[in-house]
Amino acid sequence: MALPSIEQLDVAGKKVLLRVDFNVPLDKATGAISDDTRMVKSLPTLELLLNRGASVILMSHLGRPEKKHDPALSLKNIAEHLKTLLPGRSIHFSPEAIGSNAESLAQSLKLGEILVLENIRFYEEETSKDEKVRTDFAKKLCKMADFYVDDAFGAAHRAHASIYECAKLLPSAAGLLLKKEIDVLERIVSSPERPFVAVIGGAKVSSKLAVLENLVTKADAILIGGAMAYTFLKSRLIDVGTSLVEKEFLSQAFQIIDKAAYNKRQIILPEDHIVSSEFGEKGKIKTVKRSIPEGFMGMDIGPKTQDHYAKIIKSAKTVLWNGPMGVFEMKKFSAGTFAIAKAMAKVKGQTIVGGGDSIFALSQSGLEDKMTHISTGGGATLEYLEGKKLPGIVALLK
Ligand code: AMP
């Protein structure tokens, strides 16, 4: 995909409006940033622009503000944290994203300086369903700059003003992070090195159906784990006790397995399970073979399945992982998820991890450095893998 590249913009002496995804998790009790990965991953784009003599007007959303100015979701704290990540850089904050004050701060910005605008979602125009409202808002943002760069992969599936309309109003390009994310995903879906194995887990089959529908024609094998495995097993009339099952999706689960077989691909389901008599670590816990007895629920993939999945993963050239294999937040049901991380760490090929839970489990296992790519996008990654066109990308390709 020929995304316009940041290198093609002659930014020296110019102002660049940069959309980043600094929507970082905040500690519920203190409000402090609990993980700044998303900020760190956009630093190369920021530095490239600054080193080329641009000044940068930075915009992002943070959380889902319900009222117009929620101090807990102000980008002021983000601007402060950015100072620690870019020591020596002059970083200013504008308490407004548009309007005369923001404009005069942008105007007085010197080369190599950064102006962080207030949370873009404090303005309902940003997410308006009315294209004209979004365009008028985007015009107010764009009048402060000469160029637009989008590095917000995590928000690329949103047709919002700062993503979609801004890209159409100014000469624009993709930032380094956005480009890398798209390059990796595009390669997976168009020409993966084979064998290509997808490991898909999580609570609900319904939220991953579209991804599975698409992967079933592309991956050589799909390994299923998490609660969604029980909907698949139940669709094949295997007893799953009191496990979480989405009854209304049984027939679709059944059909996906058929579609895989038709395409000569494999969907592999757990052959044993760690089960518990209640949802928690205090119940009666045991390992059972494929069918789960009445009064027990599946909480994690069992040791045989772990070994089997690990073997398939280790022989792959491309592995994509999204979603935990069990209730990994509880220690007794975390082995399956960690087994995937460990097996992936040994792969000699591309290993791509997406989705908040899988990334969190990976960071707990200390194996992050062993992966080729950890995606910063949750919803954006899934929508791309579903085969949908992401508005952020469409706008850049206009
Ligand atoms: P998702 O957001 O769909 O990727 O689901 C992630 C959640 O699925 C995690 O919070 C896991 O605890 C949960 N999960 C995984 N396996 C199971 C299971 N066997 N039973 C209930 N919840 C599960």
State how beta strands 297-301 and 272-276 pair: antiparallel
For residue 93, how many C-alpha atoms fall within 13 Å in the half-sphere facing its CB?
14
User: What are 101-144's pLDDT values in tens digits?
Assistant: 999 999 999 999 999 999 999 999 999 999 999 999 999 999 99
Residue 187 maps to a domain: no
Give, using CA atoms, the residue closest to atom 13 of ligand 1.
203
> What's the average model confidence in pLDDT over 367-383?
92
**Same-domain status, 141 and 197:** no
Active site residues: 38, 204, 356, 379
Full domain range(s) for residue 265: 192-385
> Read out DSSP for 34-60?
S--HHHHHHHHHHHHHHHTT-EEEEE-
Look at residue 80 and tell me if it is in a domain. Answer: yes
Cα of 167 from ligand 1 centre, angstroms: 37
Q: Within a domain: residue 396?
A: no
- Asked whether residue 159 falls in the same domain as residue 216, the answer is no
Q: Report the CATH number that the domain containing residue 85 is assigned in CATH.
A: 3.40.50.1260
Each residue's pLDDT tens digit, 197-255: 999 999 999 999 999 999 999 999 999 999 999 999 999 999 999 999 999 999 999 99
* Domain termination site, one of 120, 144, 179: 179
204 lines ligand 1 (CB under 6 A): yes
Q: Are both 107 and 46 inside the same structural domain? A: yes
Same structural domain, 174 and 249: no
Together in a domain, 196 and 173: no
Q: Ligand 1: which residue has its CA nearest to atom 4?
A: 202
Q: Is the confidence at residue 67, as pLDDT, over 80?
A: no
Which atom of ligand 1 lies at the shortest distance from residue 299's CA? 19
The whole-chain average pLDDT of the chain stands at 95
Same domain, 197 and 172: no
**How far is it, in rounded angstroms, from Cα 158 to Cα 156?**
5
292 and 375 assigned to the same domain: yes
Whether the pLDDT of residue 339 is over 90: the answer is yes
Query: Would you say residue 35 has pLDDT above 80?
Result: yes
Atom of ligand 1 nearest to the CA of 230: 19
- Inside any domain, residue 390: no
- Whose alpha carbon is nearest atom 18 of ligand 1? 227
Asked if residue 104 belongs to a domain, the reply is: yes
Q: How many domains does the chain have?
A: 2
Whether residue 163 is found in the same domain as residue 249? no
Report if residue 398 sits inside a domain: no
Considering the domain architecture, whether residues 226 and 166 belong to the same structural domain is answered as: no
Phi/psi class of residue 226: alpha, beta or left (left: φ > 0; alpha: ψ in -120 to 50)? left
The pLDDT tens digits for 271-313 are: 999 999 999 999 999 999 999 999 999 999 999 999 999 999 9
